Protein backbone atom coordinates (compact mmCIF):
# COMPACT_ATOMS: atom_id res chain seq x y z
CA UNK A 1 0.00 0.00 0.00
CA UNK A 2 2.74 2.36 1.01
CA UNK A 3 4.36 1.70 -2.33
CA UNK A 4 1.29 2.65 -4.35
CA UNK A 5 0.74 5.72 -2.21
CA UNK A 6 4.32 6.74 -2.79
CA UNK A 7 3.94 6.27 -6.48
CA UNK A 8 0.71 8.26 -6.44
CA UNK A 9 2.36 11.09 -4.61
CA UNK A 10 5.19 11.03 -7.09
CA UNK A 11 2.79 11.10 -10.00
CA UNK A 12 1.01 14.06 -8.44
CA UNK A 13 4.33 15.81 -7.89
CA UNK A 14 5.45 15.07 -11.43
CA UNK A 15 2.19 16.39 -12.85
CA UNK A 16 2.45 19.56 -10.83
CA UNK A 17 6.06 20.03 -11.99
CA UNK A 18 4.89 19.54 -15.52
CA UNK A 19 2.14 22.12 -15.17
CA UNK A 20 4.61 24.62 -13.78
CA UNK A 21 7.15 23.88 -16.47
CA UNK A 22 4.49 24.36 -19.15
CA UNK A 23 3.42 27.65 -17.61
CA UNK A 24 7.02 28.82 -17.57
CA UNK A 25 7.57 27.78 -21.18
CA UNK A 26 4.42 29.64 -22.18
CA UNK A 27 5.48 32.77 -20.31
CA UNK A 28 8.93 32.59 -21.86
CA UNK A 29 7.41 32.34 -25.35
CA UNK A 30 5.11 35.25 -24.59
CA UNK A 31 8.05 37.31 -23.32
CA UNK A 32 9.99 36.77 -26.53
CA UNK A 33 6.90 37.63 -28.53
CA UNK A 34 6.29 40.74 -26.41
CA UNK A 35 9.79 42.00 -27.18
CA UNK A 36 9.24 41.64 -30.90
CA UNK A 37 5.80 43.25 -30.66
CA UNK A 38 7.01 46.11 -28.47
CA UNK A 39 4.63 45.44 -25.58
CA UNK A 40 6.91 46.87 -22.88
CA UNK A 41 6.54 50.34 -21.41
CA UNK A 42 8.42 52.40 -18.90
CA UNK A 43 6.74 54.11 -15.98
CA UNK A 44 8.55 56.78 -13.99
CA UNK A 45 8.40 57.45 -10.25
CA UNK A 46 9.64 60.75 -8.74
CA UNK A 47 12.71 60.81 -6.51
CA UNK A 48 12.38 63.74 -4.13
CA UNK A 49 14.83 65.81 -2.07
CA UNK A 50 14.06 65.62 1.65
CA UNK A 51 13.17 69.02 3.11
CA UNK A 52 12.70 71.01 -0.10
CA UNK A 53 10.48 68.17 -1.43
CA UNK A 54 11.57 69.05 -4.94
CA UNK A 55 11.68 66.38 -7.62
CA UNK A 56 15.34 65.63 -8.32
CA UNK A 57 14.83 62.75 -10.68
CA UNK A 58 12.78 59.76 -11.70
CA UNK A 59 13.24 56.00 -11.60
CA UNK A 60 12.31 54.04 -14.71
CA UNK A 61 10.18 50.97 -13.88
CA UNK A 62 9.26 48.47 -16.55
CA UNK A 63 5.70 47.34 -17.29
CA UNK A 64 4.37 44.78 -19.75
CA UNK A 65 1.23 45.88 -21.57
CA UNK A 66 -0.24 42.46 -22.39
CA UNK A 67 -2.99 42.50 -25.04
CA UNK A 68 -5.27 40.23 -22.97
CA UNK A 69 -3.97 40.39 -19.44
CA UNK A 70 -3.50 44.15 -19.23
CA UNK A 71 -0.64 45.79 -17.37
CA UNK A 72 1.74 43.22 -15.88
CA UNK A 73 4.11 44.19 -13.07
CA UNK A 74 7.84 43.36 -13.12
CA UNK A 75 7.59 40.85 -10.26
CA UNK A 76 5.63 38.61 -12.65
CA UNK A 77 8.15 38.56 -15.49
CA UNK A 78 11.53 40.08 -14.54
CA UNK A 79 12.64 36.95 -12.59
CA UNK A 80 11.98 34.71 -15.61
CA UNK A 81 13.59 37.25 -17.95
CA UNK A 82 16.65 37.05 -15.68
CA UNK A 83 16.72 33.24 -15.64
CA UNK A 84 16.37 32.95 -19.41
CA UNK A 85 18.82 35.74 -20.18
CA UNK A 86 16.08 37.72 -21.93
CA UNK A 87 16.80 40.50 -19.45
CA UNK A 88 19.96 41.30 -21.43
CA UNK A 89 18.21 42.54 -24.60
CA UNK A 90 15.27 43.79 -22.50
CA UNK A 91 17.65 45.71 -20.23
CA UNK A 92 19.29 47.32 -23.26
CA UNK A 93 15.86 48.35 -24.47
CA UNK A 94 15.16 49.89 -21.04
CA UNK A 95 18.42 51.86 -21.12
CA UNK A 96 17.89 53.17 -24.66
CA UNK A 97 14.22 53.99 -24.16
CA UNK A 98 14.67 55.66 -20.77
CA UNK A 99 17.50 57.88 -22.03
CA UNK A 100 15.48 58.86 -25.09
CA UNK A 101 12.29 59.59 -23.12
CA UNK A 102 13.97 61.45 -20.25
CA UNK A 103 16.24 63.48 -22.53
CA UNK A 104 13.88 66.52 -22.73
CA UNK A 105 13.08 66.57 -19.00
CA UNK A 106 15.38 69.48 -18.09
CA UNK A 107 18.09 68.44 -15.67
CA UNK A 108 16.02 65.73 -13.98
CA UNK A 109 18.11 62.72 -13.15
CA UNK A 110 17.20 59.31 -14.48
CA UNK A 111 17.59 56.10 -12.49
CA UNK A 112 17.61 52.75 -14.33
CA UNK A 113 17.59 49.32 -12.67
CA UNK A 114 20.19 46.78 -13.76
CA UNK A 115 19.93 43.05 -12.99
CA UNK A 116 22.79 40.91 -11.75
CA UNK A 117 22.33 38.85 -14.94
CA UNK A 118 23.29 41.89 -17.00
CA UNK A 119 26.59 42.04 -15.13
CA UNK A 120 27.35 38.43 -16.08
CA UNK A 121 27.35 39.44 -19.74
CA UNK A 122 30.48 41.25 -20.92
CA UNK A 123 29.93 44.63 -22.50
CA UNK A 124 27.32 46.08 -20.15
CA UNK A 125 29.30 49.32 -20.05
CA UNK A 126 29.16 49.47 -23.86
CA UNK A 127 25.38 49.11 -23.76
CA UNK A 128 25.21 52.01 -21.27
CA UNK A 129 27.57 54.12 -23.41
CA UNK A 130 25.52 53.37 -26.55
CA UNK A 131 22.25 54.36 -24.88
CA UNK A 132 23.81 57.65 -23.78
CA UNK A 133 25.36 58.41 -27.17
CA UNK A 134 22.23 57.54 -29.18
CA UNK A 135 20.10 60.06 -27.34
CA UNK A 136 22.79 62.58 -26.44
CA UNK A 137 21.89 62.03 -22.80
CA UNK A 138 24.18 63.74 -20.27
CA UNK A 139 25.90 60.89 -18.37
CA UNK A 140 25.84 63.02 -15.20
CA UNK A 141 22.06 62.76 -15.24
CA UNK A 142 22.09 58.96 -15.29
CA UNK A 143 22.20 56.70 -12.26
CA UNK A 144 22.08 52.90 -12.38
CA UNK A 145 20.54 50.95 -9.50
CA UNK A 146 22.00 47.58 -8.60
CA UNK A 147 21.16 45.15 -5.79
CA UNK A 148 23.36 43.13 -3.50
CA UNK A 149 22.81 40.06 -5.70
CA UNK A 150 25.67 41.26 -7.95
CA UNK A 151 27.91 40.37 -5.00
CA UNK A 152 26.81 36.73 -5.14
CA UNK A 153 28.50 36.21 -8.50
CA UNK A 154 31.92 37.07 -9.91
CA UNK A 155 32.69 40.10 -7.74
CA UNK A 156 35.75 41.12 -9.75
CA UNK A 157 33.79 41.15 -13.01
CA UNK A 158 30.92 43.12 -11.43
CA UNK A 159 33.34 45.58 -9.90
CA UNK A 160 35.11 46.01 -13.22
CA UNK A 161 31.83 46.74 -15.02
CA UNK A 162 30.74 49.19 -12.30
CA UNK A 163 34.04 51.05 -12.51
CA UNK A 164 33.73 51.32 -16.29
CA UNK A 165 30.17 52.59 -16.00
CA UNK A 166 31.30 55.12 -13.41
CA UNK A 167 34.08 56.26 -15.70
CA UNK A 168 31.39 57.29 -18.21
CA UNK A 169 30.24 59.81 -15.59
CA UNK A 170 27.24 57.71 -14.53
CA UNK A 171 26.35 57.31 -10.84
CA UNK A 172 25.77 54.01 -9.05
CA UNK A 173 23.09 53.39 -6.44
CA UNK A 174 22.76 50.36 -4.17
CA UNK A 175 19.09 49.35 -4.29
CA UNK A 176 17.08 47.59 -1.56
CA UNK A 177 19.84 48.15 0.99
CA UNK A 178 19.53 46.02 4.11
CA UNK A 179 17.78 43.03 2.55
CA UNK A 180 19.46 39.69 2.06
CA UNK A 181 23.18 39.40 1.76
CA UNK A 182 24.37 42.52 3.58
CA UNK A 183 28.06 42.83 4.19
CA UNK A 184 29.28 46.27 5.10
CA UNK A 185 32.74 45.69 3.69
CA UNK A 186 31.56 45.95 0.09
CA UNK A 187 30.52 49.55 0.71
CA UNK A 188 34.25 50.21 0.93
CA UNK A 189 35.11 48.25 -2.20
CA UNK A 190 32.26 49.20 -4.49
CA UNK A 191 32.02 52.70 -5.93
CA UNK A 192 28.46 53.49 -4.76
CA UNK A 193 27.20 57.06 -4.84
CA UNK A 194 23.89 56.34 -3.16
CA UNK A 195 22.32 53.86 -0.76
CA UNK A 196 18.60 53.24 -1.13
CA UNK A 197 17.25 52.00 2.19
CA UNK A 198 14.80 49.18 1.58
CA UNK A 199 11.14 49.94 2.07
CA UNK A 200 10.76 47.27 4.77
CA UNK A 201 12.64 49.60 7.16
CA UNK A 202 10.64 52.63 6.06
CA UNK A 203 7.41 50.74 6.65
CA UNK A 204 8.06 50.50 10.41
CA UNK A 205 9.03 54.16 10.90
CA UNK A 206 6.87 55.85 13.49
CA UNK A 207 5.84 52.46 14.86
CA UNK A 208 9.03 51.03 16.24
CA UNK A 209 12.02 52.94 17.57
CA UNK A 210 14.33 50.33 16.02
CA UNK A 211 13.34 51.29 12.46
CA UNK A 212 14.41 54.87 13.05
CA UNK A 213 17.63 53.70 14.73
CA UNK A 214 18.49 51.63 11.65
CA UNK A 215 17.77 54.52 9.28
CA UNK A 216 19.94 56.86 11.38
CA UNK A 217 22.77 54.34 11.44
CA UNK A 218 22.69 53.91 7.65
CA UNK A 219 22.60 57.69 7.18
CA UNK A 220 25.62 58.06 9.48
CA UNK A 221 27.45 55.31 7.64
CA UNK A 222 26.66 57.00 4.33
CA UNK A 223 27.84 60.36 5.63
CA UNK A 224 31.18 59.04 6.81
CA UNK A 225 31.73 57.27 3.49
CA UNK A 226 30.50 60.22 1.41
CA UNK A 227 27.49 58.31 0.08
CA UNK A 228 24.02 59.86 -0.26
CA UNK A 229 21.07 58.07 1.32
CA UNK A 230 17.59 57.63 -0.03
CA UNK A 231 14.54 55.90 1.43
CA UNK A 232 12.17 53.78 -0.64
CA UNK A 233 8.49 53.10 -0.12
CA UNK A 234 7.55 56.32 1.69
CA UNK A 235 3.78 56.15 1.96
CA UNK A 236 2.94 58.66 4.70
CA UNK A 237 3.71 62.20 5.77
CA UNK A 238 4.85 60.84 9.14
CA UNK A 239 7.45 58.61 7.50
CA UNK A 240 8.69 61.52 5.37
CA UNK A 241 9.02 63.77 8.43
CA UNK A 242 10.95 61.12 10.38
CA UNK A 243 13.26 60.47 7.42
CA UNK A 244 14.00 64.20 7.19
CA UNK A 245 14.78 64.31 10.93
CA UNK A 246 16.95 61.20 10.63
CA UNK A 247 19.01 62.96 7.97
CA UNK A 248 18.02 61.05 4.84
CA UNK A 249 18.88 63.01 1.68
CA UNK A 250 16.13 61.73 -0.58
CA UNK A 251 12.78 59.98 -0.45
CA UNK A 252 10.69 58.02 -2.91
CA UNK A 253 7.29 56.43 -2.52
CA UNK A 254 3.55 56.57 -3.15
CA UNK A 255 3.24 59.57 -0.82
CA UNK A 256 5.20 61.66 -3.33
CA UNK A 257 4.06 60.05 -6.51
CA UNK A 258 3.12 56.73 -8.02
CA UNK A 259 5.04 55.36 -10.98
CA UNK A 260 3.51 57.26 -13.95
CA UNK A 261 3.30 56.84 -17.70
CA UNK A 262 5.36 59.26 -19.82
CA UNK A 263 2.22 61.26 -20.57
CA UNK A 264 1.25 61.55 -16.92
CA UNK A 265 4.74 62.57 -15.89
CA UNK A 266 5.10 65.14 -18.67
CA UNK A 267 1.72 66.63 -17.77
CA UNK A 268 2.80 66.91 -14.15
CA UNK A 269 6.14 68.49 -15.08
CA UNK A 270 4.43 70.99 -17.39
CA UNK A 271 1.96 71.93 -14.70
CA UNK A 272 4.28 72.33 -11.76
CA UNK A 273 7.84 71.59 -12.84
CA UNK A 274 9.99 70.26 -10.02
CA UNK A 275 8.43 72.67 -7.51
CA UNK A 276 8.25 71.54 -3.89
CA UNK A 277 5.39 69.08 -3.77
CA UNK A 278 2.45 70.16 -1.66
CA UNK A 279 2.42 67.20 0.63
CA UNK A 280 -0.95 65.53 0.89
CA UNK A 281 -2.22 65.28 4.48
CA UNK A 282 -0.76 62.56 6.64
CA UNK A 283 -2.39 59.20 6.14
CA UNK A 284 -1.46 58.00 9.61
Report if residue 71 touches ligand C2E, rule: CB under 6 A: no
Report if residue 175 touches Mg ion, rule: CB under 5 A: yes
Single residue of 46, 57, 222, 253 touching ligand C2E by CB under 6 A: 253
| 46 interacts with, out of ligand C2E, Mg ion, none, CB within 5 to 8 A per kind | none
Single residue of 31, 62, 110, 243 touching ligand C2E by CB under 6 A: 62
Between CA 193 and CA 202 the distance in angstroms is 20
Show the binding pattern over residues 3-22: x = contacts ligand C2E (CB under 6 A), - = does not.
Answer: --------------------
Residue ranges in 209-238 that form contacts with Mg ion under rule CB under 5 A: 232
Report if residue 46 touches ligand C2E, rule: CB under 6 A: no
Between CA 221 and CA 83 the distance in angstroms is 34
Q: Which residues pair with 98 in a beta bridge?
A: none
Show the binding pattern over residues 187-216: x = contacts ligand C2E (CB under 6 A), - = does not.
Answer: ------------x-----------------
Between CA 200 and CA 211 the distance in angstroms is 9
Report if residue 115 touches ligand C2E, rule: CB under 6 A: yes
CB of 117 to ligand C2E, least distance (A): 8
In the bound state with ligand C2E, the residue whose beta carbon lies nearer, of 12 and 181, is: 181
In the bound state with ligand C2E, the residue whose beta carbon lies nearer, of 3 and 38, is: 38
Please identify, among the stretches 87-95, 119-127, 242-250, 267-275, the one whose residues bind ligand C2E according to the rule CB under 6 A. 87-95
Report if residue 250 touches ligand C2E, rule: CB under 6 A: no
Report if residue 82 touches Mg ion, rule: CB under 5 A: no
Please identify, among the stretches 26-34, 71-79, 136-144, 207-215, the one whose residues bind ligand C2E according to the rule CB under 6 A. 71-79
| 109 interacts with, out of Mg ion, ligand C2E, none, CB within 5 to 8 A per kind | none
3-state secondary structure the chain: CHHHHHHHHHHHHHHHHHHHHHHHHHHHHHHHHHHHHCCEEEEEEEEEECCCCCEEEEEEEEEEEECCCEEECHHHCHHHHHHHCCHHHHHHHHHHHHHHHHCCCCCCEEEEECCHHHHHCCCHHHHHHHHHHHHCCCHHHEEEEECHHHHHCCHHHHHHHHHHHHHCCCEEEEEEECCCCCCCCHHHHCCCCEEEECHHHHHCCCCCHHHHHHHHHHHHHHHHHCCEEEECCCCCHHHHHHHHHHCCCEECCCCCCCCECHHHHHHHHHHHCCCCCCCCCCCC
| 50 interacts with, out of ligand C2E, Mg ion, none, CB within 5 to 8 A per kind | none
Q: Footprint of ligand C2E on this chain (CB under 6 A)?
A: 45, 60-62, 73-75, 78, 87, 91, 94, 113-115, 145, 175-176, 199, 232-235, 253-254, 259
Which residues are at the interface with Mg ion (CB under 5 A)?
Answer: 113, 145, 175-176, 232
Amino acid sequence: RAKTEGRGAFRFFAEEMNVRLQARKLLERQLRHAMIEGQFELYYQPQVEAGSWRILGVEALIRWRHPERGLIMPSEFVPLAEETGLIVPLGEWVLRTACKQAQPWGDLRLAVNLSATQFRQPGLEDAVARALAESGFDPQRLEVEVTETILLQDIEASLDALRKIKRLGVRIAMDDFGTGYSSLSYLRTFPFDKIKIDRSFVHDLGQTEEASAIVRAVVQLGRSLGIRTSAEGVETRTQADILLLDGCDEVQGYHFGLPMSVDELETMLLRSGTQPLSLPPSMT
